[in-house]
Every structure is written in C-alpha cells, then in structure tokens.
Chains A and B, each alone.
Chain A
Amino acid sequence: MPVQPLLLLSHALFSLGVYGILTRRNAVGLLLAVELILNAAALNFVLFGRVFAHVQAQAFALFIIALAACEAVVGLAIILALSRHAKTVLADQADLLRG
C-alpha cells in the first residue's frame, strides 16, 4: 500500500481537527475535534510502524487510544460540572476566572 496518500489523509484529518477546535464554541464539539487529531496521530503511528515493521509504533498507537479514552472521560466530567455550575456548555462563556 502506498504511503503518501495515507499520509495526506492523516494530514487532512489533523487539519480538520484544528479547524474544528478553532471554530466550535460548544465544549463537546471541541472534544470531538480533539478526537480527530488523536486519530490522525494514531494513524500515522500505525502507518509508519507498518512501513518499517516496528513493534513499538503499534504499542504507542495503543497508548494513544487509551489516553484518548481517559481524556474523553475527564473532559466530559468537566463539561458536566461546568454545565451545572456555570449553566453553559459554550467554551467562550466559561469566564468565571475573568478579572
């Protein structure tokens, strides 16, 4: 399987994730965009692990999946706490610390 098209795909996935982070106001939407970026990284790890027949690449992709799960759990707990305290899920309205 050729490497360059898949590399372009992961670049596109990463750039779309950055676009989502820059444009979304809803905190859950931000989390969705972060998942896209993490998937782009995992895809790169697996792709180059296959190219160079390296075992640790797959192990690190596994760690990415595990850390993404942790990140989603903590992020969603924070969003739920925010929605209870500040009565909003919009990231730009969470300004409790603004002086």
Chain B
Amino acid sequence: MLLASALLALLILTGAVWVVTLRNLFRAALSLGLVLLGVAGLFLLLEAEFLAFAQILVYVGAVLTLIIFAVMLTAKLQGSAAPASRQQIPAAAVSVGLFAALASATQPLVWPAAGSSAAVSLVALGQQLVTTLVLPFEVISLVFVAAAVGAIALAASGQSEDRQH
C-alpha cells in the first residue's frame, strides 16, 4: 500500500511538472490526464471508491476531452511555435516559497494515520447528500444547468455574429 502510494505520488508529481512546463499544450493536457488518474488512484487507496470513479468519469472522461477539443480548436491561432512563458524565475520563487510556507505550517502538526479509523461508507455519503447536504447538492445541479446554458449561449452568440459579417 505504501509502495503503491509512493508510485502514484511519483506519477502525479511528474505529470504535474509536465502540465506546467511542457510547451506543447496538447502534451500538457495529456499529462493532466496522468495527474488525474494518479489522484483517482490515491482516492482508491484512501478508500473513497465512489470519488475515484467520479474523478475518472468526470475529469478524465469529460473535462479532459473538452480541454483537448479546445486545444485543437485554438491550435491554428497559436501557430506551431508556442509562445514563450513569462517570468519563469520569479514564478518559480513564488511557488517554492508558497510550498515552503505550507510545508512548514503543516509538517509540525501530528495527525493519526489515515486508516486508523473505519472508512466512510458509500451509503453514509449518499445519505448525507440527500439529508444534511441537500441544499448544496441542489445548488450544484442549478450551477450545472447555468454552466451548460451559459456555455452554449457564449459559443452560439459568437457563431451568429460570424455569420452576419
């Protein structure tokens, strides 16, 4: 279990570094898929099976496909030469500083090891979603509808203007 999580962590870190450094956006999107699969694997190891499969279904199945579509639709605008990224050294300093601050804040704390208590069951999660958390659950579905309608409206309005010109 420890070995598996170490391998998954390695996969996630490598993929995440590729996501932010690769010049080719298509490859960056594919490495994001690597990161998402690794995180789903960690969810499985943390006994959150439902979340792991939701992650694969929603993220790898839908979001990644969308992003790859967007990369390909906008590919001719950015041309073959990807633009140089900006301010790499200050950005690296900021993110390393952020990592150091977060790590120094959390490393001294002591928590019981994950797995020392019983895992959360899927039944309990489902019951929470329709009892205590029913309001956020319904708001999420409203957000979904708003996002879908908004995305279609945004994309379609550009289309009709293109036709008028």
Residues of chain A touching chain B, judged by Cβ–Cβ distance below 8 Å, are: 1-9, 11-20, 22-26, 28-29, 31-33, 35-36, 39, 42-43, 46-47, 49-59, 61-63, 65-74, 76-81, 83-85, 87-90, 92
The size of the chain B interface, using a CB distance under 8 A, is: 91
Which residue of A32, A55, A81 is within 8 Å of B29 (Cβ)?
A: A32
Q: How far is the CA of A94 from the CA of B125 in the complex (A)?
A: 43
**Chain B contact residues, CB within 8 Å of chain A:** 1-2, 5, 9, 12-13, 16-17, 19-20, 25, 28-29, 32, 35-36, 39, 42-43, 45-48, 50-51, 54-55, 58-59, 62-63, 66-67, 69-71, 73-74, 77-78, 82-88, 90-92, 94-96, 98-99, 102-103, 106-107, 111-120, 124-125, 128-129, 132-133, 136, 140, 143-144, 146-148, 150-152, 154-155, 157-158, 161-162
Give Cα A52 to B29, complex, Å.
34
CA distance A22 to B77 in the complex (A): 22
Inter-chain contact B150/A74, CB cutoff 8 Å: yes
Distance in angstroms between the alpha carbons of A9 and B147 in the assembled complex:
31
Write out the residue numbers on chain A whose beta carbons fall within 8 Å of the beta carbon of B58. 65-66, 68-69
